[in-house]
Amino acid sequence: MKNFEGRVAIVTGAAQGIGRAIADRLAAEGATLAVVDINDEAAQAAAVEIGGDAFSVACDIGDPASVTALHETIVQRAGKLDVLVNAAAIVPFVPWDELTFEEWRRVMRVNLDGIYLMCRAGSDLMRKNGYGRIVNIASNSIFAGTPNMAHYVASKGGILAFTRALATELGPHQITANSVCPGLTDTEGVQQTPHKEAFEFVEMLQAIKGRGKPQDIAPAVAFLASEDAHWITGQALAVDAGMIRW
Protein backbone atom coordinates (compact mmCIF):
# COMPACT_ATOMS: atom_id res chain seq x y z
CA MET A 1 0.00 0.00 0.00
CA LYS A 2 1.34 3.45 -0.97
CA ASN A 3 0.80 5.15 2.37
CA PHE A 4 3.09 8.08 1.61
CA GLU A 5 2.06 9.08 -1.93
CA GLY A 6 2.31 12.89 -2.15
CA ARG A 7 4.03 13.10 1.24
CA VAL A 8 7.41 14.72 1.85
CA ALA A 9 9.54 13.02 4.52
CA ILE A 10 12.84 13.74 6.23
CA VAL A 11 14.72 10.82 7.78
CA THR A 12 17.85 11.84 9.71
CA GLY A 13 20.67 9.35 10.12
CA ALA A 14 19.44 7.80 6.87
CA ALA A 15 22.92 7.07 5.46
CA GLN A 16 23.04 3.72 7.29
CA GLY A 17 21.51 1.45 9.92
CA ILE A 18 18.00 1.96 11.28
CA GLY A 19 17.58 5.36 9.60
CA ARG A 20 18.40 3.82 6.23
CA ALA A 21 15.85 1.01 6.68
CA ILE A 22 13.19 3.60 7.59
CA ALA A 23 14.12 5.69 4.53
CA ASP A 24 13.86 2.61 2.29
CA ARG A 25 10.43 1.79 3.70
CA LEU A 26 8.92 5.30 3.42
CA ALA A 27 10.28 5.70 -0.13
CA ALA A 28 8.93 2.28 -1.13
CA GLU A 29 5.52 3.48 0.09
CA GLY A 30 5.69 6.56 -2.15
CA ALA A 31 7.28 9.30 -0.01
CA THR A 32 9.43 12.02 -1.52
CA LEU A 33 12.38 11.33 0.68
CA ALA A 34 15.10 13.61 2.05
CA VAL A 35 18.04 11.42 3.11
CA VAL A 36 19.65 13.55 5.83
CA ASP A 37 22.99 12.72 7.43
CA ILE A 38 26.24 14.33 8.56
CA ASN A 39 28.01 11.74 6.36
CA ASP A 40 27.48 13.51 3.03
CA GLU A 41 29.07 10.87 0.82
CA ALA A 42 27.08 7.97 2.32
CA ALA A 43 23.86 10.02 2.26
CA GLN A 44 24.34 10.75 -1.45
CA ALA A 45 24.97 7.07 -2.16
CA ALA A 46 21.84 6.09 -0.18
CA ALA A 47 19.67 8.58 -2.10
CA VAL A 48 20.94 7.16 -5.41
CA GLU A 49 20.22 3.58 -4.24
CA ILE A 50 16.73 4.53 -3.04
CA GLY A 51 16.10 6.17 -6.41
CA GLY A 52 12.83 7.82 -7.48
CA ASP A 53 12.71 11.41 -6.29
CA ALA A 54 14.82 10.77 -3.16
CA PHE A 55 17.51 13.38 -2.55
CA SER A 56 20.21 13.78 0.05
CA VAL A 57 21.03 16.77 2.24
CA ALA A 58 24.16 16.93 4.37
CA CYS A 59 23.30 18.25 7.84
CA ASP A 60 24.75 18.22 11.34
CA ILE A 61 21.57 18.08 13.43
CA GLY A 62 23.46 19.50 16.43
CA ASP A 63 24.24 22.73 14.56
CA PRO A 64 21.42 25.34 14.44
CA ALA A 65 22.67 26.94 11.18
CA SER A 66 22.91 23.54 9.50
CA VAL A 67 19.35 22.63 10.55
CA THR A 68 18.02 25.99 9.28
CA ALA A 69 19.79 25.45 5.94
CA LEU A 70 18.32 21.94 5.70
CA HIS A 71 14.77 23.22 6.11
CA GLU A 72 15.36 25.95 3.50
CA THR A 73 16.51 23.23 1.11
CA ILE A 74 13.40 21.15 1.87
CA VAL A 75 11.15 24.11 1.02
CA GLN A 76 13.07 24.74 -2.22
CA ARG A 77 13.18 21.10 -3.34
CA ALA A 78 9.88 19.74 -2.08
CA GLY A 79 7.76 22.75 -1.04
CA LYS A 80 6.53 21.31 2.27
CA LEU A 81 7.18 18.78 5.05
CA ASP A 82 4.74 16.05 6.17
CA VAL A 83 6.88 13.49 8.02
CA LEU A 84 9.96 13.90 10.22
CA VAL A 85 11.77 10.82 11.51
CA ASN A 86 14.69 11.60 13.81
CA ALA A 87 16.97 8.55 13.74
CA ALA A 88 20.39 10.25 13.75
CA ALA A 89 22.30 9.78 16.98
CA ILE A 90 25.67 8.96 18.45
CA VAL A 91 25.65 5.40 19.88
CA PRO A 92 28.65 5.42 22.24
CA PHE A 93 30.36 2.76 24.35
CA VAL A 94 32.01 4.49 27.31
CA PRO A 95 32.31 2.82 30.75
CA TRP A 96 31.16 5.03 33.63
CA ASP A 97 34.71 5.38 35.03
CA GLU A 98 35.82 6.89 31.72
CA LEU A 99 32.83 9.18 31.17
CA THR A 100 33.96 12.82 31.06
CA PHE A 101 31.80 15.94 30.87
CA GLU A 102 33.20 16.57 27.39
CA GLU A 103 31.97 13.16 26.21
CA TRP A 104 28.61 13.73 27.98
CA ARG A 105 28.20 17.04 26.09
CA ARG A 106 29.27 15.49 22.75
CA VAL A 107 26.41 13.00 22.97
CA MET A 108 23.83 15.46 24.37
CA ARG A 109 24.62 17.94 21.59
CA VAL A 110 23.52 15.50 18.91
CA ASN A 111 21.09 13.12 20.64
CA LEU A 112 19.05 15.72 22.54
CA ASP A 113 19.92 19.22 21.22
CA GLY A 114 19.70 17.79 17.69
CA ILE A 115 16.21 16.41 18.29
CA TYR A 116 15.08 19.77 19.67
CA LEU A 117 16.50 21.68 16.69
CA MET A 118 14.95 19.28 14.16
CA CYS A 119 11.53 19.28 15.87
CA ARG A 120 11.59 23.07 16.26
CA ALA A 121 12.27 23.72 12.55
CA GLY A 122 10.32 20.71 11.25
CA SER A 123 7.13 21.44 13.18
CA ASP A 124 7.24 25.12 12.16
CA LEU A 125 7.18 23.92 8.54
CA MET A 126 4.45 21.30 9.13
CA ARG A 127 2.19 23.88 10.79
CA LYS A 128 1.91 25.76 7.50
CA ASN A 129 -0.11 22.84 6.08
CA GLY A 130 -1.89 21.75 9.26
CA TYR A 131 -0.58 18.19 9.02
CA GLY A 132 2.44 16.38 10.43
CA ARG A 133 3.91 13.16 11.77
CA ILE A 134 7.01 13.23 13.97
CA VAL A 135 8.67 9.98 15.04
CA ASN A 136 11.68 10.23 17.34
CA ILE A 137 13.92 7.20 17.77
CA ALA A 138 14.62 6.63 21.47
CA SER A 139 15.88 3.24 22.76
CA ASN A 140 14.76 0.42 25.06
CA SER A 141 17.99 1.14 26.99
CA ILE A 142 15.98 3.76 28.91
CA PHE A 143 14.04 0.88 30.48
CA ALA A 144 16.95 -1.57 30.68
CA GLY A 145 19.55 0.88 32.05
CA THR A 146 22.04 -0.55 29.56
CA PRO A 147 25.68 -0.32 30.75
CA ASN A 148 28.53 1.67 29.17
CA MET A 149 26.28 4.41 27.84
CA ALA A 150 24.88 6.41 30.78
CA HIS A 151 24.96 9.68 28.80
CA TYR A 152 23.23 8.03 25.82
CA VAL A 153 20.55 6.50 28.09
CA ALA A 154 19.97 9.96 29.63
CA SER A 155 19.65 11.53 26.16
CA LYS A 156 17.15 8.87 25.08
CA GLY A 157 15.09 9.33 28.25
CA GLY A 158 15.06 13.01 27.39
CA ILE A 159 13.72 12.21 23.93
CA LEU A 160 10.88 10.14 25.40
CA ALA A 161 9.82 12.91 27.81
CA PHE A 162 10.32 15.69 25.26
CA THR A 163 8.19 13.83 22.71
CA ARG A 164 5.33 13.57 25.22
CA ALA A 165 5.45 17.33 25.77
CA LEU A 166 5.78 18.00 22.05
CA ALA A 167 2.60 16.01 21.40
CA THR A 168 0.71 18.40 23.68
CA GLU A 169 2.16 21.48 22.00
CA LEU A 170 1.52 20.26 18.44
CA GLY A 171 -1.82 18.46 18.82
CA PRO A 172 -3.81 21.64 18.02
CA HIS A 173 -2.05 21.74 14.63
CA GLN A 174 -2.93 18.13 13.70
CA ILE A 175 0.70 17.12 14.16
CA THR A 176 1.43 13.92 16.09
CA ALA A 177 4.68 13.15 17.92
CA ASN A 178 5.61 9.66 19.08
CA SER A 179 8.78 7.80 19.95
CA VAL A 180 9.94 4.32 19.00
CA CYS A 181 12.25 2.42 21.34
CA PRO A 182 14.27 -0.21 19.47
CA GLY A 183 16.19 -2.93 21.26
CA LEU A 184 19.77 -3.83 20.35
CA THR A 185 19.85 -3.87 16.54
CA ASP A 186 22.55 -5.09 14.17
CA THR A 187 23.71 -1.89 12.42
CA GLU A 188 26.97 -0.55 11.02
CA GLY A 189 27.20 1.69 14.09
CA VAL A 190 26.75 -1.15 16.61
CA GLN A 191 29.23 -3.34 14.70
CA GLN A 192 31.89 -0.70 15.40
CA THR A 193 31.45 -0.95 19.19
CA PRO A 194 31.63 -3.69 21.87
CA HIS A 195 27.80 -3.54 21.95
CA LYS A 196 28.03 -6.14 19.18
CA GLU A 197 29.01 -8.68 21.88
CA ALA A 198 25.63 -8.18 23.64
CA PHE A 199 23.29 -9.88 21.15
CA GLU A 200 23.25 -13.23 22.97
CA PHE A 201 22.52 -11.49 26.28
CA VAL A 202 19.55 -9.49 24.98
CA GLU A 203 18.22 -12.52 23.09
CA MET A 204 17.93 -14.27 26.46
CA LEU A 205 15.54 -11.49 27.58
CA GLN A 206 13.49 -11.36 24.35
CA ALA A 207 10.11 -13.10 24.13
CA ILE A 208 10.81 -13.75 20.45
CA LYS A 209 14.31 -15.07 19.75
CA GLY A 210 16.61 -13.73 17.06
CA ARG A 211 18.92 -10.82 16.29
CA GLY A 212 17.24 -7.45 15.70
CA LYS A 213 17.79 -5.98 12.24
CA PRO A 214 17.03 -2.45 10.96
CA GLN A 215 14.20 -3.93 8.85
CA ASP A 216 12.52 -5.11 12.08
CA ILE A 217 12.23 -1.52 13.32
CA ALA A 218 11.10 0.29 10.14
CA PRO A 219 7.47 -0.99 9.93
CA ALA A 220 6.53 0.38 13.37
CA VAL A 221 8.00 3.75 12.42
CA ALA A 222 6.15 3.70 9.10
CA PHE A 223 2.85 3.06 10.89
CA LEU A 224 3.29 5.94 13.34
CA ALA A 225 4.33 8.17 10.40
CA SER A 226 1.20 7.25 8.40
CA GLU A 227 -2.16 9.02 8.14
CA ASP A 228 -3.76 5.99 9.83
CA ALA A 229 -1.98 6.81 13.11
CA HIS A 230 -3.81 10.16 13.46
CA TRP A 231 -5.35 9.19 16.84
CA ILE A 232 -2.04 8.17 18.43
CA THR A 233 0.25 10.83 19.91
CA GLY A 234 2.63 11.27 22.82
CA GLN A 235 3.23 7.52 22.92
CA ALA A 236 6.37 5.41 23.07
CA LEU A 237 6.46 2.00 21.40
CA ALA A 238 9.11 -0.61 22.25
CA VAL A 239 10.17 -2.58 19.16
CA ASP A 240 12.53 -5.15 20.68
CA ALA A 241 11.02 -8.66 20.39
CA GLY A 242 9.48 -8.21 23.84
CA MET A 243 12.69 -7.60 25.78
CA ILE A 244 11.11 -4.92 27.95
CA ARG A 245 7.38 -4.60 28.90
CA TRP A 246 5.63 -1.45 30.11
Write down the catalytic residue from 131, 143, 152, 162.
152
Q: Report the chain's terminal Cα–Cα distance, integer Å.
A: 31
The only residue of 3, 9, 19, 119 in contact with ligand NAD, by rule CB under 6 A: 19
152 is catalytic: yes
Report what 133 binds from ligand NAD, ligand 4PL, none; CB cut-off 5-8 Å by kind: none
Report which residue type is found at 75.
Answer: V
Question: What CA–CA distance (Å, rounded) separates 83 from 133?
Answer: 5
Query: Contact letters (x/-) for ligand 4PL, 198-217, by CB under 6 A?
Result: x---x---------------
61 contact, one of ligand 4PL, ligand NAD, none, CB 5-8 Å limit per kind: ligand NAD
Select from 16, 56, 178, 233 the one that contacts ligand NAD (CB under 6 A): 16
Size of the site for ligand 4PL (CB under 6 A): 11
- The correct pick among 16, 86, 136, 140 for binding ligand 4PL (CB under 6 A) is 140
Asked if 212 contacts 240 with a C-beta cutoff of 8 angstroms, the reply is: yes
* Site residues (vs ligand 4PL, CB under 6 A): 91, 139-141, 144, 146, 183-184, 195, 198, 202
